[in-house]
Structure 1
Amino acid sequence: MKWNLYAAKCPTRQLLDRISDKWVVLVLSLLEDGPKRFSVLKREIDGISQKMLSQTLRALEQDGLLTRRAFPTVPVTVEYELTTLGRSLNTAMAPVVEWATTNMSRVLKARDTFRKKPD
């Protein structure tokens, strides 16, 4: 089937919305090096709430981008790991993440110039 992301009801729009979310990019990037526990992800991603991290992880699991594994400990230990599909998305996103970090100074300069423009 050929998907048309310009069609209002095409599911690719939902997927693009999901993968363009900043929390998704950060979670997937952290999982690139291997499985991580919820508490580690929460600690590493400055500014993310527990609720938002839970929602993001659940959505990524639903889309087949990561797996959730619970260990029978007290309290239960939960670990998240990228799937093959998740790794392929990380490979595709890596140049965008690199572009953002490489060009941030230029973007900040452009924003500053824009703010100083007379109306």
Structure 2
Amino acid sequence: MEECCFREDQELCIFYSSRLLELIMKKYTYAILVVLDKYGKLRFNEIQRKILGLTQRTLSIRLKELEKVKLIKRVVEPSEPVKVYYTITTEGKAVKNAMQILVSLANLLDNNKDAYLC
């Protein structure tokens, strides 16, 4: 664990999860959270069809990562055949909203938009 960077005001230090912060910055994290927030519950292929350029492998990895940090929930319906859905959690909505706010603030400071957040 690193030391706090403040010499005298250590109460200003904030511990954070570097794993979560890295996941938030990965490609397609935001897009997955947005589509799950908009549509409620979606199956794997439905998510993939809604996000341009998202491969099965990347979607599978990202869903596992998001589930591990509790930003999404994997729901298994015991039917014949078994159906698996993904839904966004309250924490996932909070992260998505925070990302939108940060991008909006960045856009206020710099009108030279040159990329989409996915």
Q: TM-score under structure 1 normalisation? A: 0.70
Between the aligned partners of 1:39 and 1:100, the Cα distance in structure 2 is 33
**Aligned residue number for residue 22 of structure 1:** 27
Aligned partner letter, 2:99: M
- TM-superposed CA distance for 1:76, in Å, is 2.7
Secondary structure, aligned partner of 2:112: helix
2:61 is aligned with 1:55? yes
The two structures, once aligned, show a CA RMSD in angstroms of 3.0
Aligned partner letter, 1:25: Y
Identity of aligned residues (%): 32
**Aligned residue number for residue 82 of structure 1:** 88
- TM-superposed CA distance for 1:102, in Å, is 9.0
- TM-superposed CA distance for 1:82, in Å, is 0.9
Between the aligned partners of 1:44 and 1:30, the Cα distance in structure 2 is 7
Segment drifting more, 44-53 vs 67-76 = 67-76
Name the one with the larger helix percent.
1
Q: Could you say if the C-alpha distance between residues 100 and 76 of structure 1 is closer, same or farther in structure 2, counting changes exceeding 3 Å?
A: farther
How many equivalent residue pairs? Answer: 102
Q: TM-score under structure 2 normalisation? A: 0.70
Between the aligned partners of 1:47 and 1:90, the Cα distance in structure 2 is 20
Higher relative contact order (CA 8 A, sep 6+): 2
Between the aligned partners of 1:78 and 1:18, the Cα distance in structure 2 is 23
Query: Which residue of 14, 18, 37 corresponds with 1:13?
Result: 18
| Structure 2: runs of 5 or more not aligned | 5-14
- TM-superposed CA distance for 1:22, in Å, is 2.0
Between the aligned partners of 1:75 and 1:23, the Cα distance in structure 2 is 29
- TM-superposed CA distance for 1:79, in Å, is 0.6
Pairing 1:91-106 to 2, within 5 Å after superposition: 91-98=97-104, 106=112
Q: Could you say if the C-alpha distance between residues 40 and 107 of structure 1 is closer, same or farther in structure 2, counting changes exceeding 3 Å?
A: same
Secondary structure, aligned partner of 1:106: coil
2:115 is aligned with 1:72? no
